């Protein structure tokens, strides 16, 4: 038999065989415009802290603006999986957007690292992992601080979406167990420019404290509203308000406010024994070298932590499959679920197949606004 005839099919097959992809493609959807841009822009800035390659594979990062709109976020996610053939989805920093994107991630069997505390229906987060601390975990230090300072009654003023409702539910459970009663709950939309009516209702009830569940610079408006109505009790803010935008917009009205946060924002004030300190200090140094002194924030730290997680998980996944394949995406999910205890700038993460939140109960701390800066509450 002619040797040439035997070899020709094999040569043709090699020529037309798809080449192994020499890069890991990551699709990032963030609210760079719209009401949640105060979260998305810092996250985007935090991408500058990512390495150029992991495990010998180049990272190609595609960033799209979801405009704080769930419909746009879903469109971005669908583009990522169908056109860009991404190995990983990151985002959104806006909770309603990230929640909508999680359905696409599940359908495409592609890992999503959500930069917000999305609460999915039971069993619906198989492919979604959170970079942000859960509201339930962050409610723990808030309630502990309230109890320590004699708070018995609380008014709630929060977003009328999944972020606000989740905070209300988780906080109410924790508060009830501590003997603290929610005496009023008012809501507002992210796009609202006034909450005068809601503030009047809450201040008329005169609770010992008011908890505001809003984000970025948008958290300052309801804070100022209750102060303008003459409220002089304690005012607490959630971890989505842990940025200097709160102080920039709120000015003197937010002096004395209590804000729950991960360790990264105030890492340089923490004892050396804190497992997140070295990561937080490194994050602050690297981020502020690029973006200026005092620019540190809760949201860019999530991107810093994403890199830590990927530098641990990607080499494990690469032992099983190549990027650009369903096998690699599945291996990346498995590597994250079995990565064990991982200290990051925002706390300690320990994802498992049953727990895609990961953060331990000791994660959160309380910061106080003092002279326009953060001070850790002891």
Q: Is 135-261 the same fold as 14-133+295-349?
A: yes
CATH class label, 135-261:
alpha beta
Domain 14-133+295-349 carries which CATH code?
A: 3.40.50.2300
pLDDT grade for 123, boundaries at 50, 70 and 90: confident
Report domain extents, the chain: 14-133+295-349, 135-261
Confidence of residue 288 (pLDDT cuts 50, 70, 90): very high
Looking at residue 157, its pLDDT comes to 98
Percent with pLDDT over 70 in the chain: 94
Across the range 36-58, mean pLDDT stands at: 96
Instruction: Give pLDDT tens digits for 209-251.
Output: 999 999 988 999 999 999 999 999 999 999 999 988 899 999 9
Distance in angstroms (rounded) separating the CA atoms of residues 129 and 126: 8
Residue 315, pLDDT score: 98
- pLDDT tier at 312 (50, 70, 90 boundaries)? very high
- DSSP string over 55-108: TTEEEEEEEEE-TT-HHHHHHHHHHIIIII--SEEEE-SSHHHHHHHHHHHHHH
Mean pLDDT of the chain: 93
């Amino acid at each position: 038999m002619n040797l040439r005839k035997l070899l020709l099919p094999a040569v043709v097959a090699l020529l037309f065989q798809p080449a192994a992809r020499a890069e890991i493609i990551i699709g990032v959807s963030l609210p760079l415009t719209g009401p949640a841009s105060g979260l998305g822009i810092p996250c985007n800035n935090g991408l500058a802290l990512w390495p150029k390659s992991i495990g010998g594979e180049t990272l190609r990062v595609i960033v799209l603006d979801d405009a704080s709109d769930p419909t746009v976020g879903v469109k971005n996610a669908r583009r990522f999986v169908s056109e860009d053939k991404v190995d990983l989805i990151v985002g959104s920093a806006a909770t309603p957007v990230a929640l909508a994107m999680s359905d696409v991630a599940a359908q495409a069997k592609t890992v999503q690292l959500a930069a917000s505390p999305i609460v999915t229906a039971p069993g619906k987060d198989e492919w979604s992992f959170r970079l942000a601390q859960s509201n339930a975990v962050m409610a723990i230090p808030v309630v502990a601080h309230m109890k320590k300072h004699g708070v018995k009654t609380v008014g709630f003023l929060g977003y009328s979406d999944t972020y606000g409702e989740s905070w209300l539910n988780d906080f109410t459970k924790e508060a009830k167990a501590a003997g603290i009663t929610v005496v009023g709950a008012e809501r507002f939309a992210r796009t609202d420019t006034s909450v005068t009516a809601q503030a009047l209702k809450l201040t008329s009830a005169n609770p010992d404290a008011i908890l505001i569940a809003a984000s970025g610079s948008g958290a300052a408006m309801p804070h100022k509203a209750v102060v303008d109505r003459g409220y002089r009790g304690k005012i607490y803010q959630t971890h989505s308000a842990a940025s200097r935008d709160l102080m920039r917009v709120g000015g003197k009205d937010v002096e004395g406010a209590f804000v729950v946060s991960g360790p990264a924002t105030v890492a340089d004030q923490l004892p050396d024994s804190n497992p997140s300190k070295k990561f937080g200090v490194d994050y602050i140094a690297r981020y502020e070298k690029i973006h200026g002194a005092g620019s540190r924030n809760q949201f860019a730290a999530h991107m810093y932590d994403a890199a830590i997680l990927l530098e641990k998980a990607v080499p494990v996944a690469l032992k099983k499959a190549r990027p650009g394949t369903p096998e690699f995406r599945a291996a990346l999910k498995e590597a994250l679920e079995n990565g064990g205890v991982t200290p990051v700038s925002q706390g300690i993460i320990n994802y498992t197949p049953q727990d895609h939140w990961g953060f331990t109960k000791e994660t959160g701390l309380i910061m106080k606004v003092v002279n326009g800066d953060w001070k850790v509450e002891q």
